[in-house]
Amino acid sequence: MKKNEVYRKYILIILSGVLWGTIGMFIKILYAKGSSSEYTTFLRMFFGFLLLFLITLIKEGAGAFAISRRMLFSCVLLGVVSMSINNLCYTNAVNRLGMSLAAAMLYMAPVFTAVESKLLFREKIGPKKTLALAVNVAGCMLAATGGNFSGISVSAAGLLFGLGAALAYSTQTIFGRLATDEGSPFVVATYNFFFAAAFTLIAARPWTTTDRLFDPEILLWGFLFGLIPTTIAYILFYSGIQGLTESSKVPVLCSVELVAAAALGVIIFDEHLTFASVAGMAMILFSIVLTSGITICDS
């Protein structure tokens, strides 16, 4: 793959991370409207599936949904593990550890992805990549916590849920790479959200968690949640990882999500950033630049 094409894919992945940075905004708005965390998760998965299905049907036709068993299995893993289990574990981690520590644990995912990529794809983890990972993880922890861990309650169950969320999140790049290697990003994303919505419906039973299932405002914001940081973001993400030879770089590039989320918090919710948070975001951006500068083989 030529360098220009690689950098174009990097840009797509970074843009998907920026859109994922709006997730917290939608969650806050939906919570304020009276939606539960389970129903909010389901709305995102359901509208994401519906939109992706219609876009794929119009763009590629019904025949595109005929896929191999290998690709179908990868999509099942993406939907169940990388999406549903990730979201459910993360929600439980937030409830038990608080947002700061849960977010810090989630962004251990780049390390897990690097190890998984080495085991599965025999990717090399050289000095530059190791430095980029270390700077990224440290930056994410600072940005998420503001450097203040005081008052954080730690429970064994919470730590296990946090670890589970990070592991599940780390598999997104691995399973996504396996699926997009032989199929369209649109088709992969559609199947991904079909299985995610189905699993969330069965496991979380969202209809039992709120009495505002058909509230017009909640449905409208749920639709936008399914459009912006879901449908558009995942089309960009899967288009970006398709054909890339180094999966371990992807979570580092996606970590721009944390910077985008912090910027939105300041602009929309009048949140204040500490010096440690700003330093952490600078470290994240530096790790992304460092990662993007690592040479990928040309062919």
Phi-psi domain of 183 (left: phi exceeds 0; alpha: psi -120 through 50; beta: other): beta
In sequence order, the 6+-apart residues with CB closer than 8 A to the CB of 5 are: none
pTM value surpassing 0.95: no
- Taking residue 297's Cβ as centre, other Cβ atoms within 10 Å add up to 9
What pLDDT score was predicted for residue 299?
A: 32
Beta carbons of 150 and 96 less than 8 angstroms apart: no
* pLDDT, tens only, 82-139: 988 887 888 778 777 766 677 777 878 888 888 888 888 888 888 888 898 899 889 8
Cα separation of 86 and 157, whole Å?
15
Give average pLDDT by consecutive 10-residue segment, the chain, 299 residues.
Answer: 86 94 86 88 93 95 92 91 86 72 78 87 85 89 75 73 90 87 87 92 90 94 95 94 83 87 83 85 89 50
**Of 164, 12, 178, the residue nearest 87 (C-alpha):** 164
User: How far from the centroid of its chain's Cα atoms is residue 201's Cα?
Assistant: 20
**Of 55, 74, 66, 64, the residue nearest 195 (C-alpha):** 74
What pLDDT score was predicted for residue 225?
A: 94
Cα separation of 204 and 196, whole Å?
11
